[in-house]
Structure 1
Amino acid sequence: MVDCVVRNWQGEEVGQATLDLRVAKEESAAHIVHRAMVRQMTNSRQGTVSTKTRAEVSGGGRKPWRQKGTGRARAGSIRSPLWRGGGVIFGPKPRDFNIKMNRKERRLALRTAFQSRTEDLIVVEDFAAQLPRPKTKELIGAFARWGITAESKVLLILPEVEEMVYLSARNLSTVKLISATSLNVYDILNADKIVTTNTALAKIQEVYSE
């Protein structure tokens, strides 16, 4: 169980929130989080790259020249891998890179990764009402008041993706906005700072408790 300070829009401390997730044992935590990370990165590969073998390249049905008497090397097809425009030897073909991992293991890895970032976790009050219109400058100012530097990579977690917050954050290349039900290991570990609201934190504990 971890106690987190809750800040308001102005950056003032206004209360506390508790983060209590069931995580992996210390001796196996790094291993299971690493497996989940590798799975996510590997499963994002499309695997659609493809080359043609000499059997698939069009043309080449006729022998280019007779076997003997020309002084040239013997050739049976203009689509030989040795020729320009020919087939490819042992080239890549479409394949499925997906790695399987049990659902319970995935959720355990996610909880473990999230709770391991408590030192970089910033809990704030719901601030959607503070942005009645899209205003990137105001969101940047709020980040500064919460102690986030301009170059930090920020993962912003909300209960639901609010339109005005999304429009205010979309021009910031260092900010990634996701909902509390869309957590993933890569985004959690890749961010320098994680900002979430107290409502989103409660939802995370509700959704990922088991």
Structure 2
Amino acid sequence: MRLPVYDKDGNRTDEILEFDEKIFGEEVKKALLKEAVLMYEARKRQGTHSTKTRSDCAGSGRKLWRQKGTGRARVGPARAPHWKGGGTVFGPHPRDYGYAIPKKAKRKATDSAWLAKFQDREVLVIEDFELEAPKTSVVYNVLSTLGIVKNKTLIGTSQERDNVLLRSARNIPRTSVDIVSRLNAYSLLYNNKILLTKKAFNELIQNRNGEVKSLKRESLYKK
């Protein structure tokens, strides 16, 4: 597979990166992706919902009237569930919805998400932003030139945390920044476009024992 490289202004350069996409798997495992996404969504649930049982409600535990002799049905205290202001039966209580799938399954799900993004041409590579100080307009102009400013875009950087880029992009709607090694199946599928720096792209491929070849457009498209 081949990907073009864009410069810091968002314009296409003469460089093209070639790599073997099979390092991410032979095919996209949709069932595994669904399982991974459900796991990450379950982990995001707060689980703070709560209801009161009959022991938590205000009121006396005294029997409302005597058992026999009134002609009425036998009853217990006013905190019983069938009385107004009484407790709730089998209501929700605070709980943790999170669960985990095997580590190998998570890794394969992440690889399948990468493969899907590459096959759908939703991954772009930029040389670098070259920001010395936080500047939102620079990042915004790059995204606008690439035509992805209105999409949910994830900017992937190398292992070194780029605080300047993070502060430059945090005010742009639908745009986030993260280290490429921390990206998972959910974060990849949640975003419409993935914009990787050239260094981050090389790390992504090399960490999976792949090789990146740098080609020139002139050598590929000779007249």
Same fold (TM over 0.5): yes
Structure 1, gaps ≥5 residues long: none
Determine the structure 2 residue equivalent to 1:31: 31
Which residue identity lines up with residue 150 of structure 2 in the other structure?
E
CA pair 85-5 structure 1, distance change in 2 beyond 3 A: same
Distance 1:24 1:115 in 2: 7
- 1:183 is matched by which residue type in structure 2? L
Report the AA paired with residue 12 of structure 1. R
Paired letter, 2:127? E
Query: How far apart in 2 are the matches of 1:13 and 1:49?
Result: 53
Task: Give the 5 Å matches for 1:88-127.
Answer: 88-118=88-118, 119-127=121-129
* Compared CA separation, residues 86 and 19, structure 1 to 2 (3 A): farther
Q: Distance in 2 between matches of 1:14 and 1:58?
A: 75
Cα distance change on mapping 1:193 and 1:63 into 2, 3 Å: same
Letter in 2 for 1:7: Y
Q: Could you tell me whether the CA contact under 8 Å between 2:124 and 2:196 is conserved in 1? A: yes
In the alignment, is residue 167 of structure 1 matched against residue 167 of structure 2?
Answer: yes
CA contact (8 A) 2:4 2:12 kept: no
Cα distance in 2 for partners of 1:207, 1:88 equals 53
What is the RMSD computed on CA atoms of the aligned residues? 2.5
Query: For residues 21-100 of structure 1, what are the structure 2 equivalents within 5 Å?
Result: 22-26=23-27, 29-67=29-67, 74-100=74-100
2:134 match:
134
Deviation at 1:198, TM superposition (A): 1.1
Q: What is the Cα deviation at residue 121 of structure 1?
A: 0.8
Rate the CA distance shift 1:68–1:192 in 2: closer, same or farther, 3 A. same
1:178 Cα shift? 0.9
Deviates more, 1:115-124 or 1:14-23: 14-23
Q: Give the TM-score normalised by structure 2.
A: 0.80
Displacement of 1:68 after TM fit? 5.8
Gaps (5+ residues) in structure 2? 211-223
Q: Does 1:4 align with 2:14?
A: no
- Alignment deviations for residues 47-102 of structure 1 (CA, whole Å, 9 cap, x no partner): 34232321343543212344467787653212111223321111012334233321
- Counting aligned pairs with the same residue, the percent is 34
Scaled by the length of structure 1, the TM-score of the pair is 0.84
Q: Which residue of 1 aligns with 2:155?
A: 156
Specify the SS of the correspondent of 1:176: strand
